[in-house]
Amino acid sequence: MPRAVIAAEAGDASVLRVREAEVREPGVGEVLVRTAYAGVNFADVFMRRGLGAGPFPFTPGVEGSGVVEAVGPGVDTAAPGDRVAWAPVRAASSVGSYADLAVIGAEQAVPVPDDVSLRTAAAVLLQGLTAHYLVHDQHPVGPGVTVLVHAAAGGTGRTAVRWLHHLGATVFATVGGAAKAAVAAEAGADHVIDYTRTDFADEVLRLTGGRGVDYVVDGVGAGTFRGDLRAVADRGRVCVFGQAAGLPEAFSPMELIPRSITVSGGYMTNFLRDRAEVLGTADRVWSGVREGWLAPLVHAALPLEEAAEAHRLLENRETVGKLVLATGGDAS
């Protein structure tokens, strides 16, 4: 009998339990995948806490990789035996990756090239698609452009640092602690600030001679957003794309006027409007992996039974890079 992690009710990580699970046939526009790995993302933590999830009980996991077992009616973009990975590229995307078998929307399933392992695919796809819009679609980035990335040793932050470094930007990174500082520096950050010990906005202003940075990438939210408005240069941009620490502090648009600052939001699905854009962006992610400059750092590949521990590690800031769950379906 296949297994699945079930979140029986909203709560802390202890609500996650592995159970034997019935698996339904894929419906119209769906594929059934034997999973190899599930990506563990902060979005999963929010859903487990009861924010944005469907009705409980449910199986978490918006990202994964594996091999297609069967396709539903009308699906001509995947076939049994295909190696695929998936991420929430649509507003109404599937959950259920923390399982031996998962039914996902066919439009989410992206072919994984032969030279990319299923482990790497599950560790990089969601963060890669996110970093792509952060570095290509929000603000012009390249040599001479200064960018501040928060939580820069984390899954999304580290991926963004690597991509920004690849494009030649000067990267300022914040991290919680010395071990994470080493990870951010290795990823390509030019200046690393431990924001648990230092006021990061003061430090950015000091390092830039009072000018600030052109662009701030903030997935932390609470405790950072106010500093972002100080650390960003005149006519600069702050992109808020997450709230790992909680909701950003409230602000008035009037505060932006004197220095002509732009504050924008970022959400992956808005930058992946159709199948061609999903496949094209995924190809850029696979190329980055192949060429080495985007190689993901896998914090650990934990067994499905340790899903609760995975959530504890992620929400207690005890991970660097990306956590995945190994479901045993990786035959490569």
Interacting residues toward ligand NAP by CB under 6 A: 41-43, 126-127, 130, 151, 153-157, 175-176, 180, 219-220, 241-245, 266-268, 314-315, 317, 319
Give 220 or 229: the residue with its C-beta nearer to ligand NAP. 220
Q: How far is the CB of 310 from ligand NAP (least distance, A)?
A: 11
Residues 138 and 237 sit within 8 Å (Cβ to Cβ): yes
Give 7 or 175: the residue with its C-beta nearer to ligand NAP. 175
Residues 118 and 332 sit within 8 Å (Cβ to Cβ): yes
Give 88 or 111: the residue with its C-beta nearer to ligand NAP. 88
Q: How far is the CB of 88 from ligand NAP (least distance, A)?
A: 8
Give 41 or 208: the residue with its C-beta nearer to ligand NAP. 41
Q: How far is the CB of 152 from ligand NAP (least distance, A)?
A: 7
Give 2 or 177: the residue with its C-beta nearer to ligand NAP. 177
Give 94 or 130: the residue with its C-beta nearer to ligand NAP. 130
Give 247 or 250: the residue with its C-beta nearer to ligand NAP. 247
Give 68 or 138: the residue with its C-beta nearer to ligand NAP. 138
Q: How far is the CB of 93 from ligand NAP (least distance, A)?
A: 12
Give 126 or 213: the residue with its C-beta nearer to ligand NAP. 126
Q: How far is the CB of 80 from ligand NAP (least distance, A)?
A: 30
Q: How far is the CB of 92 from ligand NAP (least distance, A)?
A: 15
Q: How far is the CB of 314 from ligand NAP (least distance, A)?
A: 6
Q: How far is the CB of 174 from ligand NAP (least distance, A)?
A: 7
Residues 39 and 97 sit within 8 Å (Cβ to Cβ): yes
What is the three-state SS of the chain? CCEEEEECCCCCHHHEEEEECCCCCCCCCEEEEEEEEEEECHHHHHHHHCCCCCCCCECCCCCEEEEEEEECCCCCCCCCCCEEEECCCCCCCCCCCCECEEEEEHHHCEECCCCCCHHHHHHHHHHHHHHHHHHHCCCCCCCCCEEEECCCCCHHHHHHHHHHHHHCCEEEEEECCHHHHHHHHHHCCCEEEECCCCCHHHHHHHHCCCCCEEEEEECCECCCHHHHHHHEEEEEEEEECCCCCECCCCCCHHHHCCCCCEEEECCHHHHCCCHHHHHHHHHHHHHHHHHCCCCCCEEEEEEHHHHHHHHHHHHCCCCCCEEEEECCCCCC
The CA angle 219-271-174, to the nearest 5 degrees, is: 20
Q: How far is the CB of 221 from ligand NAP (least distance, A)?
A: 7
Cis ω for the linkage preceding 57 (within 30 of 0): yes
d(CA 118, CA 317): 25
